[in-house]
Structure 1
Amino acid sequence: MTTVSTERGALRRRGGRRAGVLLAALLAAGLAAGCTSGGSGDDGRGPRESPAATREADGQDPPPVLTVKIDNAPAARPQSGLDAADVVYVEQVEGGLSRLMAVYATRLPESVGPVRSARESDLELLRQFDEPLLAFSGAQSKLLPLIDEAPLTPVDPGSEPDAFSRDSDRAAPHNLYLRPDKILEDPPGEAALTAGFREGPAPSGGTPDEEVTVRFPAARFTFTWSDADGRWQVSMDGSPATTRDGDRLTAATVVVQNVTVRSSGFGDFLGNNTPYTETVGSGKATVLRDGRAYPASWSRPAAEDGTSLTSPDGDPVNVTPGPVWVLLTAAR
């Protein structure tokens, strides 16, 4: 059994940030997508040193994990880089829509995106990693200071302009992409994954289940077991989820994690409150692997901890090697 957890080094954070360009276009398009900000104008805090330019090796410490906030509006699909992620978190945003947080440790794709704005609950979610890189495009102005104070290294078009580009074939704000090789020479490796999930044999029991649908207020995800792939095929809002090359997105393990989703102190331009997803605490979960569904409980005592999964008997519920999708759904 392999525990996907160990100590590792981190990058120093750098203060200040510039947001990017095309603010007016992003505001207009963001209304339809339920975002607080996807933009990139100057936020008034001045320039920030580039993490790529100032990154020094801390002894033999490996680089941190890369996390990227990814758009999941229909206009953003198919996304780039999701097939290379070690973990994909699905979060609820304004209007009941969903947005993704992809975590990269063992592979760096050529391109990731479309990159979108950060949310307050991302800061708690990412505390489980040691000062990760967070790639995003804008955030509500009063959230930016909280991002600056968080134990992570922000990466946005203002700090790393050479790492981001726009796809002229897509409309803003669904067209901003990150080049991971511009901010990391190599992936940090499996040791950087401290999400708490343990690889190992399947637990006993479970129920055969060939298809499971998980619903958010205005989004749904379906996972269909494929014997040929040995994985769950992903569908979003009733359509197969694919890469930009047309290959089907798959998950080796799916964790449906029932959490508290409450109102935050933030909102979007339409007056919708931004949901805050609590990922510290405990609750019920369902783990999908090997074509079966296993009841489980999840526990994350503190923000610095990963999330453990246990069976009703208290035994660990392991994941199978490969991508893990975690759907953070409101407990009922």
Structure 2
Amino acid sequence: MHASRTRRPAAAAPAALALLLAALAGCQGGTGTSPGATTPPPSAARGHVLAVKIDNVPAARPQSGLNEADLIYVEQVEAGLSRMMAVYSSRLPSTAGPVRSARETDLELLRQFDRPTLAFSGAQSKLLPVIAAAPLNPLTPDKDPDAFFRAGDRAAPHNLYLRPGRAPHVTTGVNAAEDLGLRFAAAVPGGRPTTGRTVRYPATSLAFAWSAGERRWLVSMDGAPARSADGGRLGAADVVVQYVTVRPSAYRDKWGSTSPYTETVGSGDALVLRDGKEYEARWSRPAAGATTAFTAPDGGRMTFAAGQVWFVLAEK
């Protein structure tokens, strides 16, 4: 309701005018809301996440800001290497990076969130208009140079970093896992005790080893312990190895290599690591606008341990 659309008698009494203004204030969202402002629905607030495309070649390690992410996606890129997409909502790091270019796969993954912000360094020229048309807020050094900086201790292109506090993004304080419908609860029945799991891409590998003392899966990359820039060990409460189809996309990088496209709409097998066990699971996502559901062998909903979740998109 807007005041400009409401008629009142020219000779309205002060009391009647007060009642009218009170009614208008109620239509605008209650106390604490400025005139003309609207309160976003809870789903929109939960979906306001920041996703940052993170480099993952040896020259980019150790990365910054990964331990603060709610979710981390790992995907295959050109030459059999991998990159990560860190998703933030409950808290923001002071610095995140090194930031690298976006891929077509990222656009489909991010459809699970309500118009997220995607921070990236750039993209293949033919992909840029596709990104511009996607339901997300692109954040690049060209668009907002104050939010990015180049570190002097690394060579380009592995030296671009994001300062999330200077980005036009306001974190909600709600875990991004809630947008996906992930349920943090006691483990489902079953599961096999395991000390860890290794996922291999053609030119890189990620290993997750259970630490009973830390109650999380410690990450190694290419055989070496993975650490953050501040020296802390990378680790996850849950690791989801999601088996997917990886096929050539219509895009190439600047060296002429075809970019792989990881299909995250459909269904398939998954392996969920939590609490020192691995659980067989199934994943299903019927459409790009839907979230991914994970189910246990009995058809019930898969549950997760509270904490950071890594999704490793592995070729089936």
Aligned length: 275
> Structure 1 239/191 Cα, relative in aligned 2: closer, same or farther at 3 Å?
closer
Determine if the alignment matches structure 1 residue 315 to structure 2 residue 300: yes
Q: What is the Cα deviation at residue 186 of structure 1?
A: 4.2
Q: Which amino acid aligns with 1:66?
A: L
TM-score normalised per structure 1: 0.80
Contact 1:89 1:101 (8 Å CA) reproduced: yes
More divergent stretch after superposition (229-238 vs 175-184): 175-184
Question: Residue 284 of structure 1: which of 232, 255, 269 is its match?
Answer: 269
Q: What is the Cα deviation at residue 271 of structure 1?
A: 2.5
Give SS of 2:130's match: helix
Determine if the alignment matches structure 1 residue 228 to structure 2 residue 245: no
> Structure 1 185/327 Cα, relative in aligned 2: closer, same or farther at 3 Å?
closer
1:14-163 map, 5 Å: 59-61=38-40, 62=45, 64-163=48-147
1:309, 1:108 → 2: CA distance?
Answer: 27
1:58, 1:82 → 2: CA distance?
Answer: 35
Determine if the alignment matches structure 1 residue 265 to structure 2 residue 250: yes
Q: Which amino acid aligns with 1:107?
A: R
Unaligned runs of 5+ in 2: 1-35
> Structure 1 267/288 Cα, relative in aligned 2: closer, same or farther at 3 Å?
same
Q: What is the Cα deviation at residue 120 of structure 1?
A: 0.8
2:116, 2:226 → 1: CA distance?
Answer: 27
Contact 1:197 1:306 (8 Å CA) reproduced: no
1:269, 1:245 → 2: CA distance?
Answer: 32
2:58, 2:181 → 1: CA distance?
Answer: 31
Higher relative contact order, structure no. (Cα contacts within 8 Å, ≥ 6 residues apart): 1
Structure whose CA Rg is larger: 2
More divergent stretch after superposition (300-309 vs 319-328): 300-309
Contact 2:124 2:254 (8 Å CA) reproduced: no
> Structure 1 149/298 Cα, relative in aligned 2: closer, same or farther at 3 Å?
same
Q: Which amino acid aligns with 2:287?
A: A
Note the aligned Cα RMSD (angstroms).
1.4
Determine if the alignment matches structure 1 residue 293 to structure 2 residue 267: no
Give SS of 1:190's match: coil
2:38, 2:97 → 1: CA distance?
Answer: 32
1:312, 1:182 → 2: CA distance?
Answer: 45
Kindly report structure 1 stretches of 4+ aligned residues shifted beyond 4 Å: none
1:187, 1:270 → 2: CA distance?
Answer: 37
TM-score normalised per structure 2: 0.84
1:186, 1:270 → 2: CA distance?
Answer: 37
Which residue number in structure 1 is paired with residue 28 of structure 2? Answer: none
> Structure 1 269/159 Cα, relative in aligned 2: closer, same or farther at 3 Å?
closer
Determine if the alignment matches structure 1 residue 187 to structure 2 residue 166: no
1:102, 1:192 → 2: CA distance?
Answer: 11
Question: Residue 159 of structure 2: which of 167, 175, 182 is its match?
Answer: 175
Q: What is the Cα deviation at residue 203 of structure 1?
A: 0.9
Deviations 1:63-107 (A, max 9, x none): 710000000010000000000000000000001100000000101
Q: What is the Cα deviation at residue 185 of structure 1?
A: 6.3
2:101, 2:297 → 1: CA distance?
Answer: 37
Question: Residue 328 of structure 1: which of 298, 310, 313 is its match?
Answer: 313
> Structure 1 270/129 Cα, relative in aligned 2: closer, same or farther at 3 Å?
same
